[in-house]
Structure 1
Amino acid sequence: MLRHTVGQAYDELARLAERGPLRTRGTRPVVRDLGWFEPRPGAVEVFARIGAGDQLRAMAFRLERGPDLRWRCTAVELGGPRPPREDLH
């Protein structure tokens, strides 16, 4: 995906790739939910909830279509792990 990424999004995606924050021991990450919003023609904001074992993370990115009609990622964010749910009783 890096070759389809521009600006600060490229730096952020490269950093995430190095750290491998979605990796967990013995459990493969799985997309649990996906959604999108079109704030204007030629731009799409997408989110995914990614689960690995008992961890849940959120990833969001923005895609923009350039004058050459190619889609490029212009922003990316990854939310931290959400701790396992505990009974509140």
Structure 2
Amino acid sequence: MAGTARPDAAAKTARTVGAARAAGTAGPAGSTARPPGRRDQRRPGPRAPRPQTSRGPHDWFAERLLAVISGQRPVHSLLGLTVGPAYDQLVGLAPAGPLRSRLRPVLRRCGRFHPGPGVIEAFARIATGDRISAMAFRLEQGPDLRWRCAAVEIRGPLP
């Protein structure tokens, strides 16, 4: 008789579930609180909260500006994201390639300062091999609440 349970196995299962309910260890729908055969009472503890990394618009812009200045992206990729002389500054910086080299530049740290509402003045440290450069830029929030780059400056490599 394939597919039918033996009466003594069903009785044993019923006794096990009944004993678990009596002991208070049965979960929903008659399941036991631990896997069959496990005898210890340990439970996984609460998980530690993940550290929150607050990535703001300055981080996003730092990555995009670095890609343009190092020659990885074209200048016109930031056309709608710049205002005033910032686009002209990028057009002048990109061909000169202050961060162009055989090694790919890496964004090491990006920080910000809020001098007033709707304005972020940010800085970034950029490593190219063992050389460190600095980039400063200003972001302004428009009436449509979108951030746009208003100025860019590069210095480096630093000793």
Q: Is the 8 A contact 1:64 1:72 kept in 2?
A: yes
Report what 2:10 is aligned to.
none
CA RMSD of aligned residues (A): 1.2
Report what 1:52 is aligned to.
128
Inter-partner Cα distance in structure 2 for 1:42 and 1:3: 18
Q: Which runs of 4+ in 1 moved over 3 A?
A: none
More moved, 40-49 vs 1-10: 1-10
How high is the sequence identity, in percent, across the aligned residues?
63
What is the 5 A alignment of 1:5-84?
5-25=82-102, 27-83=103-159
The alignment of Structure 1 onto Structure 2 pairs a total of residues equal to 82
Q: Is the 8 A contact 1:2 1:13 kept in 2?
A: no
Q: Report which of the two has the higher share of helix.
A: 2
Letter in 2 for 1:18: P
Q: Which has the larger radius of gyration?
A: 2
Tell me, which stretches of 5 or more residues in structure 2 are unaligned?
1-77
Q: Secondary structure at the match of 2:100?
A: coil
Report what 1:4 is aligned to.
81
Q: Report which of the two has the higher share of strand.
A: 1
Q: Secondary structure at the match of 2:95?
A: helix
Report what 1:87 is aligned to.
none
Tell me, which stretches of 5 or more residues in structure 1 are unaligned?
84-89
Inter-partner Cα distance in structure 1 for 2:144 and 2:122: 21
Inter-partner Cα distance in structure 2 for 1:2 and 1:15: 14
